[in-house]
Chain A
Amino acid sequence: MALHGKGLLLAALMCSAAPAMAQQRVLTFNSNASDPAPRAMFEQLAADFMAEHPEIRVEINTFDHEGYKTAIRNFLTADPPDLITWFAGNRMKPFVDAGQLLDVSDVWEENGLKDSLGSTLSSMTFDDRQWGVPYTYYQWGIYYNKEAYAAAGVEPATDWEGFIANCAAFQEAGIDCLTTGSKALWPVAGIFDYLSLRTNGYDWHMQLTNGEIPWTDDSVRAVFAEWEKILPYTTANHAAIDWQDAVANIVQGRAAHYVMGNFAVAAFRDGGMTDETLGFMSFPTINPDIPRAEEAPTDSMHIPAGAKNPEDAKLFLAYIARPDVQTRINEALGQLPVNSEASVGDDPFLQAGFEMLSTAEAGIAQFFDRDAPAEMAKAGMEGFQEFMVRPERLDAILERLERQRQRIYAAAQ
């Protein structure tokens, strides 16, 4: 009976609010932020937006982060929401090509985003139009255990020869110089990307991921030749472990370096590392004549073409592009704001990453699976993993990738 009474009370309240409710517009928002911190951030973001626009109600549907990647294809065609989270670069291209995303060039034009979000303009643009608004990005680089350095008795090196010499010292001390967990494949793409950016440069790397360079080319072999130098010092059995398992190798001092994205810092700290024991550095220079480029994948929001309320969704995109909003979002996420007028959090790794990215003269790559089309990304990462386990098969791997390149990019024309 008490319940019944409450229900009546609620109904009475709703009746009194009905005139306002009738005009309230709804924005449905499908989010992939299933981890606690990002999830809380999105809920706060929606609450702040609704405080500014009381006439709009934002409804968030949170999906599991991995499941979202396949679910998106279903809900885009079957039941499109008004807003979605996704990734920049080639990762969004299949949806742009299929006409599933709304052209939001007007949002960019009206809010001057081409200046404030200029660093990511190219990765949000296809056919001279913009298809979404980026809200966060994070650097990739080398995270290392300072205690492992002390144990091996060496100092961090900024050039490749020095890095490899250190690796030999780590091996003497019984420590893996480089660790990774390649069960899910993508961690090895980070290593390849940096070797490629350091050996042949940003423009070459973009040509490669755009399918303009044959995989059997000597310039590609040069990248793998550099990679081969550090293979003996890389954790064995990386193919059987996940990226989190490799974090444990760093935390326990069994490995020294890990090429990773900044999101791993939380995992290092959970494992007990502090700012005193965890270090961060840019990937060492291989060819000093090549201007430095870095890697920073961008996460973005988009409006599906089938959105029921695209006008308010554009309002929301303009909102998340604002510097003050991006500052708040990224403080909560522990990542970097895309808007150049936003301010970066105090975290030393964020500060180091921001410094590194803002001084990268050559450019900022997204990530192998966002720069290259999906199928090439998959085939490539598999090839990288195979190379790491069986370097003697390089010729066969490159020939296979070249066949894939000819098919995939020809089909894309």
Chain B
Amino acid sequence: MTPLPDPEAQIAPRKRSRRRSLTPWLFLAPGMAMFAVYVLIPIVQSVWVSFHDWDGLGQMRWIGTANYSELWWDDAFYTSLRNNVIWLALYMLAVPLGLMIALFLNQTVRGIRIYKSLFFFPFVISQVVVGLIFSWFYAPGFGLLYALIEWVTGSGVALLADERYVTYGIIAAGLWPQIAYCMILYLTGLNAVAPDQIEAARLDGAKGWRMLWHVVLPQLRPATFIAVVVTVIGALRSFDLVSIMTAGGPFGSSRVLSYYMYEQALSEYGYRMGYGAAIAVVLFGIMMIFISGFIWKMWRDEKGQ
């Protein structure tokens, strides 16, 4: 079967096809220019800087891969890397917990909107405020959690002063708003769940876990995908909470890569732009693994349709 000839193409074939191929690019141009200036060029620049010794003020000196070989032997780098992995793993809890709260709130009771907004509240307030609230919650002496542990066990634990617990303490603070975020994603997702399918499943005798696993969750896949993406990215770029709650301490044990980069390149005592850039490149590499995974999945899904 031959396709029908396009009537317009017959009138002015070359002019129209050229215009048609040009138009999308014209529409894309502002976005692409922005993307190049604020994303692509800085990436190239960071990689370039990472091969130099530079204090951010004077001359740049080419040192090849010396920054990277120093990273290889740097304990602080591995501490940060390990913390990043812990962040990634534990931050993922936000997805099932968010789903749980979303399922719980997905009912028609009087005033449910108020409860929903209250649960969403931690995501609305600034991360800085979240960090401060949790610092006081953990604070030795007057902190609620400290007092509670002291009351139960007899001696208090200052979470943020103990290298064993400090990262978990910060992640707990980070989970609070992140769970709210995942919850809202699932709540919107639940609105789109087809009631007739639920009905059909119920007639077939499905309920509880089986209903959730085989009927509801498959329909929530788009929401799950977005929730996982924002949580992975959120875990990798965790910076504000570390900065507010501990500044990487005690003695650097709660650092993550993004904070270590800031510390080396930009903080009060950091004058090592090259080294900071090298850390940034490593973090970028780790992020790229996840991001290309997500993009590949999205591309595959779109092609499948």
Within 8 A of A (CB), among B44-60: 53, 55-58
A308 sits at the interface (CB 8 A): no
Interface status of B223 (Cβ within 8 A of chain A): no
Query: Which A residue sits closest to B58, measured CB to CB?
Result: A98
A185 CB-CB contact with B under 8 Å: yes
Nearest CB in chain B: distance from A29 CB, A: 21
B57 touches A377 (CB 8 A): no
User: Which one, B10-18, B22-30, B204-212, B249-257, is touching chain A?
Assistant: B249-257
Bound together, the chains give a CA A30 to CA B159 distance in angstroms of 39
Nearest CB of B to A149, in Å: 23
Q: Quick check: B161 and A374 within 8 Å, CB to CB?
A: no
Say whether B83 faces chain A, with CB atoms less than 8 Å apart.
no
**What A residues does B247 contact at CB under 8 A?**
183-185
B158 to A240, Cβ gap below 8 A?
yes
A77 contacts B139, CB within 8 Å? no
Q: Check if B249 sits within 8 Å of A239, measured CB to CB.
A: yes
Interface residue? A15 (CB, 8 A): no
Q: Mark B242-284, 1 if CB is under 8 A from A, else 0.
A: 0000110111100000000001001111111000000000000
**Interchain CB contact under 8 A, B161 and A239:** yes
Given contacts A382-B251, A385-B249, contact A411 B53 (CB under 8 A): yes
Cα(A146)–Cα(B141), bound, Å: 23
Contacts of B269 in A (CB 8 A): 369, 374-375, 377-378
Cα–Cα, bound, A185→B248 (Å): 11
CA distance A407 to B141 in the complex (A): 41
Q: Provided the pairs A73-B57, A240-B161, A375-B272 are in contact, do residues A385 and B251 lie with their beta carbons within 8 angstroms?
A: yes
How distant is the Cα of A378 from the Cα of B275 in the complex, in angstroms?
A: 15
A395 smallest CB distance to B (angstroms): 14
In the complex formed, the residue of A with least CB distance to B75 is A400
Select B271's contact among A239, A375, A400, beta carbons within 8 Å: A375
Which of B159, B160, B251, B252 has its CB near the most chain A CB atoms (within 10 A)? B251
B234 in the interface, Cβ–Cβ < 8 Å?
A: no
Secondary structure call for the A interface: helix
A354 within 8 A of B: no
Q: Are B249 and A97 in contact (CB under 8 A)?
A: no
**B75 and A73 contact, CB distance less than 8 A:** no
Q: Name the contact of A389 in the complex, choosing from B58, B141, B160, B251 (C-beta under 8 A).
A: B251
Contact across chains for A95 and B57 when beta carbons are under 8 A apart: yes
Within 8 A of B (CB), among A71-91: 73, 76-77
Instruction: Report the count of interface residues on A (CB-CB < 8 A).
Output: 36
How distant is the Cα of A374 from the Cα of B267 in the complex, in angstroms?
10
B134–chain A nearest beta-carbon distance, Å: 12
Q: In the complex, A410 Cα to B249 Cα: how many Å?
A: 27
Within 8 A of A (CB), among B125-150: 138-141
The answer to whether A185 and B57 have CB atoms under 8 Å apart is no
Q: Tell me if A413 counts as interface (CB < 8 A to partner B).
A: no
Tell me if B's interface is mostly helix, strand, loop or mixed. loop
Please indicate the chain A residues that have their CB under 8 angstroms from the CB of B251 in the complex.
239, 382-383, 385-386, 389
What is the chain B residue whose CB lies nearest that of A403? B73
Given contacts A240-B140, A240-B160, A374-B271, contact A73 B250 (CB under 8 A): no
Rounded to whole angstroms, the CA-CA distance of A237 and B75 in the bound complex is 24
A241 touches B246 (CB 8 A): no
Chain A, residue nearest B56 (CB): A73
The distance from the CB of B140 to the nearest CB of chain A, in whole angstroms, is 4
Q: Contact partner of B249 among A99, A183, A369, A374, CB < 8 A? A: A183
* B56, B75, B267, B271 pick with most chain A CB within 10 angstroms: B271
With known contacts A76-B57, A98-B58, A389-B161, A241–B140 Cβ distance under 8 A: yes
User: A237's contact among B53, B161, B267, by CB below 8 Å, is which?
Assistant: B161
Known contacts A99-B58, A240-B138, A411-B53: A69-B268 contact under CB 8 Å: yes
CB atoms of A185 and B249 under 8 A apart: yes
The 0/1 profile, CB within 8 Å of A marked 1, for residues 150-167 of chain B is: 000000001111010000
Say yes or no: B57 contacts A100, CB within 8 Å. Answer: yes
CA–CA, A239 to B138, complex, Å?
13
**Across the interface, which residues of A come within 8 angstroms of B139, CB to CB?**
240-241, 245
Note all chain B residues with C-beta closer than 8 A to A375: 269-272
Q: How far is the CB of B90 from chain A (nearest CB, A)?
A: 21
A94 within 8 Å of B (CB atoms):
yes
Q: Are B161 and A98 in contact (CB under 8 A)?
A: no
Q: A197-237, CB under 8 A of B: which get 1 and which 0?
A: 00000000000000000000000000000000000000011
In the complex, A251 Cα to B55 Cα: how many Å?
Answer: 42
Do B140 and A237 have beta carbons less than 8 Å apart?
A: yes
Chain B 213-251 interface residues, beta-carbon cutoff 8 Å to A: 246-247, 249-251
Interface contact B57-A77, CB-CB below 8 Å: yes
Residue in B75, B140, B161, B270 whose CB lies within 8 Å of A378: B270
Measured between C-beta atoms, what is the minimum distance from A240 to chain B in Å? 4
A95 contacts which chain B residues (CB < 8 A)?
A: 57
Instruction: Find chain A residues with CB under 8 A from B160 CB.
Output: 239-240
Within the assembled complex, what's the spacing in Å between the Cα atoms of A159 and B279? 47
Q: A245-B139, A407-B70 known; 4 other A-B pairs, CB under 8 Å?
A: A70-B267, A240-B161, A374-B270, A378-B269
Identify 20 residue pairs between A and B in the complex whose beta-carbon atoms are under 8 Å apart, listed by A's number.
A70-B267, A70-B268, A73-B57, A77-B57, A94-B55, A97-B58, A98-B58, A236-B158, A237-B161, A239-B160, A239-B251, A240-B161, A241-B139, A241-B140, A383-B251, A385-B251, A389-B250, A389-B251, A407-B70, A411-B53
